[in-house]
A and B are shown apart, each in its own frame.
Chain A
């Protein structure tokens, strides 16, 4: 079955420290992978995506993610966390179905950056 897993419900990190939000996936074929961020009472905002090419993808707000095919992972990272990064983060994969595509989302990871 095609799926996305975000194993941590919450991640706490001190401001200025590096942060990692984990994501693993299971999908047939070559995956398209995405990260989104959601602030309170808002829709999802796109951060970055991996389709092909360089395994390290850079996105908005200083975030980056590394595609690891052997570990089927796509972890989100930032070298130095800001308090304003505190939000809910979703990983997603585009999966083929019935000749077209749908997007499968993880359950989300709440990031808290502590001042």
Chain B
């Protein structure tokens, strides 16, 4: 059964911390995506990657960076976490599937 795995379901971090969210897919897809989901705003694209070491900004990249050193792994990095980055983060591989999500709370 093909799938996308996000490393954590729930995270609580302090303001100013550097945060790593990991996503791994087992389908050999070129395209991987990071979204954040907020009530009333739907899913907004943060970054995506169409190949190893290749990345492209989505609609809301500010405050985030990404890393894709291997095809199966796509990491989202919050350089200095802030309270407005409290959200649900979803990783996807191509159009499907999605990971189960990471609910990040920044305090």
Q: Do A and B come from one complex?
A: yes
Per-residue CB proximity of B1-36 to A under 8 Å, as 1/0?
A: 000101000000000000000000000000101010
In the complex, 30 of the A-B residue pairs with CB atoms within 8 angstroms, ordered by the A residue number, are: A34-B95, A36-B96, A36-B98, A41-B101, A41-B103, A42-B101, A43-B98, A43-B101, A44-B43, A44-B98, A90-B43, A92-B43, A92-B95, A94-B95, A100-B50, A102-B33, A102-B45, A102-B48, A103-B33, A103-B92, A104-B45, A105-B35, A105-B44, A105-B45, A106-B42, A107-B40, A107-B41, A107-B42, A108-B42, A108-B43
A97: interface (CB < 8 Å): yes
Is A43 within 8 A of B95, CB to CB? no
CB distance from B44 to the nearest CB of A (A): 8
Tell me how far the C-beta of A74 lies from the nearest C-beta in chain B, rounded to whole angstroms. 14
Q: A-B contact count, CB below 8 Å?
A: 62
Q: A34-B95, A94-B95 are in contact. Are A105 and B100 (CB under 8 A)?
A: no
In the assembled complex, how far is the CB of residue A109 from the closest CB belonging to chain B, in whole angstroms?
10
Q: Which 9 A-B pairs have the closest CB atoms?
A: A46-B96, A107-B42, A43-B98, A105-B43, A44-B98, A43-B100, A100-B50, A43-B101, A105-B42
